[in-house]
Amino acid sequence: MGDLNKTETLKDIVNRESAASEEVKQNEIAAYRQIIENNRREIEALTAANKKKKAAVIWLSIILGLVLVGICVYTVLYNPFGLLDLNSENNIASQTLTETTSEEDTLQQAADKNDDKAQLALGQRYFSGTDGYKTDKVQAAEWFARSANNGNVTAMLLLAKMYETGEGIEKNNQSAFKYYFMAAREDDKEALYKTGKCYYYGNAVEKNTEKALFYLNKSASQNYTPAVTLINLIKEDIKNAQRSAAADKQTETPTTKHDNTGE
């Protein structure tokens, strides 16, 4: 009987421990479920808050966009600060293009009306390819010729140099002399020098030292250094020629002999 009571007591103890263990497990499971439920609620709350923030950002963006559109429309229609004017010359690109086109048209019109300065300007632009013009030496020569024939000394010189060097047009010494001579008649110091030089060397004109010195002296009187240098050279050449002529004359003079034997 004593052993039987002990056995039952052990069983009771095991049963009690099992029941306690099961209760602990159930309590732990319940605690975990509560934690999971709390986390779920927090996630739902955060999700809801994020949705509200996104909605607020979207609405704020829409409102700002509408405000900006309104400002742009108001500015275009009323331009209260002078920021934009699509219909006036305040548009820089449009204004620049208009001014350039207007300047070209005005220059061309003046040149067509025989304005020598406008013709010279057109010639220079075609010659150097500036201010939107393509380089065209033939066109440049044509405008220089028109300007020169209207009395523009600069055009005369530029055209004469083109003919002298053959730059852009066929080299022509006679035409070069023609325009240098025209400019020399206007008392241009460089043209006077070039004309005198042509006369001295007989370039495109009959050699004439007297005429050469006439033009060169006029150029030198304006302190044109190349003319002064050439005058000194001519003077030296004249002296050398005179010395040579005198020497030749002495060589050619016969020696006179007197024979007095018959007297």
DSSP-derived secondary structure for 131-172: TTPPP-HHHHHHHHHHHHHTT-HHHHHHHHHHHHHTSSS---
Give a yes or no: residue 51 inside a domain: yes
Both 245 and 183 in one domain: the answer is: yes
Same domain, 117 and 245: yes
Residue 132 sits in the same domain as residue 243: yes
Are residue 231 and residue 182 in the same domain, yes or no?
A: yes
Residue 229, domain extent: 106-250
Please indicate, yes or no, whether residues 120 and 56 belong to a single structural domain of this protein: no
Cα three-residue angle 87-90-93, rounded to 5 degrees = 95
Among the candidates 32, 53, 84, a domain finishes at: 84
- CATH code (residue 232): 1.25.40.10
Instruction: Output the pLDDT for position 182.
Output: 98
Residues of the chain with pLDDT under 50: 82-100, 261-263
Confidence (pLDDT) at 32: 67
Residue at 69 is within a domain: yes
Q: Looking at the 3D structure of the chain, how many domains does it have?
A: 2
Q: Which two tokens stand for residue 146?
A: 């028109």
Could you tell me if 201 and 242 lie in one domain? yes
Could you tell me the two tokens for 212? 């050469």
245 and 115 together in one domain: yes
Asked if the structure places residue 95 within a domain, the reply is no
Please indicate, yes or no, if residue 99 is contained in any of the structural domains. Answer: no
- Here the contacts of 198-201 (C-beta below 8 Å, separation 24 or greater) are 200/230, 200/234
- Indicate whether 255 belongs to any domain: no
Residues 80 and 110 placed together within one structural domain of the fold = no
* Separation of alpha carbons 119 and 79, rounded Å: 43
Question: Is the Cβ–Cβ distance between 180 and 160 less than 8 Å?
Answer: yes
Same domain, residue pair 162 and 200: yes
Core vs surface per residue 195-212: b (16+ CB within 10 A) or e: bbbbbbeeebbeeebebb
Q: Which of 36, 51, 84 is the last residue of a domain?
A: 84
Q: State pTM to two decimals.
A: 0.57
pLDDT reported for residue 1: 54
Pair 70, 111 in one domain:
no
Angstrom distance (rounded) from CA 211 to CA 193: 11
Whether 126 is covered by a domain: the verdict is yes
CB 143 within 8 A of CB 115: no
Residue 94 lies in a domain: no
- On whether both 27 and 112 belong to a single domain, the answer is no
Cα–Cα distance for residue pair 226/124, rounded to 1 Å: 26
Q: Is residue 223 part of a domain?
A: yes
Q: Which among 50, 84, 118 is the end of a domain?
A: 84
Tell me: do 218 and 123 sit in the same domain.
Answer: yes
